[in-house]
């Protein structure tokens, strides 16, 4: 992806995504820490192990993204990241629009920020895929 004179290689985009997935994974793995969620205005996941399982899956996906960045296998992983980000953004937006998030005002703002981040991530992955098609 090219932004002005800056070109973002697919491997770089995957590694940044791996870091963001790892960060979200840590947050989800801490699902039993009610104080963290309450401080952010988010309802603690019930039961916590659902969120912790998702955190474990995100750790695994982050490892795959990091390991395959810069290899011939990066294209399907980039596609998977784009699809996952777009789906997650859509699902979260529907819950927020329905008013069913269970979050307070600060939490809702934080969750809309996550939706925006996921939309941008999906778009960046898609642009990288289209631009790398000829490579």
Express each pLDDT in 45-99 by its tens digit.
Answer: 999 999 999 999 999 999 999 999 999 999 999 999 999 999 999 999 999 999 9
What are the DSSP calls for 11-27, one per residue? Answer: HHHHHHHHHHHHHHHHH
At 118, give phi and psi (nearest 5°): -65, -40
The count of structural domains within the chain is: 1
Q: With bands split at pLDDT 50, 70 and 90, how would you rate the model's confidence at 135?
A: low
Residues 70-102 as b/e (b if ≥16 CB within 10 A, e otherwise) read: eeeebbebbeebbebbbebbeebbeebeeeebe
pTM of the model: 0.86
- The residues, ordered by sequence, that sit 6+ positions from 78 with a Cβ below 8 Å of its Cβ are 10, 13, 14, 125, 128, 129, 132
Q: In which domain, by residue range, is 6 found?
A: 2-132
């Amino acid at each position: 992806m090219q932004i002005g004179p800056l070109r973002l290689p697919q491997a770089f985009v995957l590694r940044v995504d791996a870091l963001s997935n790892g960060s979200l994974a840590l947050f989800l793995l801490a699902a039993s820490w009610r104080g963290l969620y309450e401080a952010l205005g988010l309802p603690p996941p019930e039961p916590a192990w659902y969120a912790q399982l998702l955190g474990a899956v995100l750790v695994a996906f982050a490892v795959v993204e990091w390991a395959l960045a810069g290899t011939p296998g990066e294209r399907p992983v980039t596609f998977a990241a784009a699809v996952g980000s777009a789906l997650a953004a859509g699902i979260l937006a529907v819950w927020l629009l329905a008013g069913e998030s269970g979050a307070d005002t600060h939490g809702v703002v934080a969750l809309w920020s996550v939706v925006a981040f996921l939309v941008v991530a999906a778009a960046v992955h898609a642009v990288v895929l289209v631009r790398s098609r000829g490579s």
